[in-house]
A and B are shown apart, each in its own frame.
Chain A
Amino acid sequence: MDFNLNEEQQMLQDTVARLVRGEYEFEKRLKYSESELGYSEEFWKQLGELGLCAVPFPEELGGFGGSGVDVQSVMTELGRGLCLEPYMQTVVLGGGLISQAGNNNQKEEWLSRIATGDIKIAVGLDEPQSHYNLNDVETRAEKSGSGYVLNGRKGVLIGGHAADLILVSARTSGDSRDADGLSLFAIDPNAEGVERRVYPTMDGAKGCDVFLNNVQVGADALIGEEGQAGAAIHYQTGRAVAALCAEAVGAMEEAIKLTLDYLKTRKQFGVPIGKFQVLQHRMVDMSSELEQARSMSILAASVANDDASDERDRILAAAKNVIGRAGQFIAEQSIQLHGGIGMTWEYSLAHYAKRLIMINHQFGDDDFHLEQYASLLQAS
Chain B
Amino acid sequence: MNMNYTADELAFRDEVRTFLEEKLPADIASKVKEGRRMSRDDHERWQQILVKQGWYATHWPEEYGGVKWTAVQKHIWDEESCRYGAPRSIPFGVNMVAPVIIKFGSEEQKQHYLPRILSGEDWWCQGYSEPGSGSDLASLKTRAVRDGDHYIVNGQKTWTTLGQHANMIFCLVRTNTEVKAQEGISFLLIDMNTPGVTVRPIITLDGEHEVNEVFFDDVKVPVENLVGDEDKGWTYAKYLLTYERTGLAGIGASKAALSHLKAIAGRQKKNGRPLIEDPTFAQRVAQVEIDLMAASISNLRIIASVEGGGVPGAESSMLKVRGTELRQAITDLSRRALGPYAQPFVEEELALEFEGDHLSDPDGAALSPQYFNMRKLSIFGGSNEIQKNIVTKMILGL
Contact = CB atoms under 8 A, between A and B. Distances in A.
A358 B343 contact: yes
Query: Interface size bucket, A side?
Result: 35 or more
Contacts of A176: 272
A335 to B, nearest CB: 5
A361 B343 contact: yes
Contacts of A328: 332
A18 B376 CA distance: 35
Contacts of B269: 129, 131
A202 B134 contact: no
B205 A351 contact: yes
A136 B340 contact: no
B388 A156 contact: no
Given A202-B345, A340-B158, A343-B376, A279 B385 contact: yes
Interface in A360-378: 361-362, 365, 367, 370-371
Nearest to B210: A343
Interface string A183-198: 0000000000000010
Contact of A133 (B270, B359, B378): B270
Most interface-central of B281, B378, B385, B388 (chain A CB within 10 A): B385
A231 B344 CA distance: 28
Contact of A132 (B132, B158, B207, B339): B339
A365 B343 contact: no
Q: Which of B280, B339, B346, B347 has the most CB of A within 10 A?
A: B339
Contacts of A279: 385
B204 A343 contact: yes
Contacts of A234: none
A115 to B, nearest CB: 28
A200 interface: yes
A340 B205 contact: no
B101 interface: no
A131 B339 contact: yes
Contact of A343 (B136, B205, B339, B385): B205
Contacts of B343: 156, 158, 201-203, 207, 358, 361-362
A335 B384 CA distance: 13
A336 B284 contact: no
Interface string B367-391: 0110110011011100111001000
15 contacts: A126-B339, A129-B269, A131-B271, A155-B341, A269-B136, A278-B388, A335-B375, A339-B379, A340-B380, A344-B203, A344-B204, A345-B205, A362-B343, A365-B336, A367-B336
A343 B375 contact: yes
Given A129-B269, A268-B136, A340-B159, 17 more contacts: A130-B340, A131-B270, A131-B340, A155-B341, A156-B340, A177-B272, A199-B344, A200-B344, A267-B132, A268-B139, A269-B136, A270-B136, A335-B379, A343-B376, A358-B342, A362-B340, A367-B284
B340 A361 contact: yes
Interface in B78-132: 129, 132
Interface of B: 129, 132-136, 139, 158-159, 202-205, 207, 211, 268-272, 275, 280-281, 284, 332, 335-336, 338-347, 359-360, 368-369, 371-372, 375-376, 378-380, 383-385, 388
6 tightest A-B CB contacts, nearest first: A350-B205, A268-B136, A131-B339, A345-B203, A131-B270, A129-B269
A26 B334 CA distance: 30
A77 interface: no
Contacts of A27: none
**B interface: dominant SS:** mixed
A156 B341 contact: yes
A332 B375 contact: yes
A353 B375 CA distance: 11
Interface in A246-275: 267-270, 273
Contacts of B281: 367
A136 B271 contact: yes
A335 B281 CA distance: 26
A126 B340 contact: yes
Nearest to A351: B205
A344 B132 CA distance: 16
Contacts of A129: 269, 272
A46 to B, nearest CB: 26
A113 interface: no
A199 B378 CA distance: 30
A209 B344 CA distance: 10
Nearest to A361: B342
A340 B204 CA distance: 9
A345 B339 CA distance: 24
A199 B134 contact: no
A353 B135 contact: no
Contacts of A203: 343
Contact of B378 (A132, A336, A346, A354): A336
Interface string A307-345: 000000000000000000000100010011001101111
A340 B134 contact: yes
A202 B372 contact: yes
B379 A343 contact: yes
Nearest to B385: A278
A128 interface: yes
Contacts of B339: 126, 130-132, 361, 365
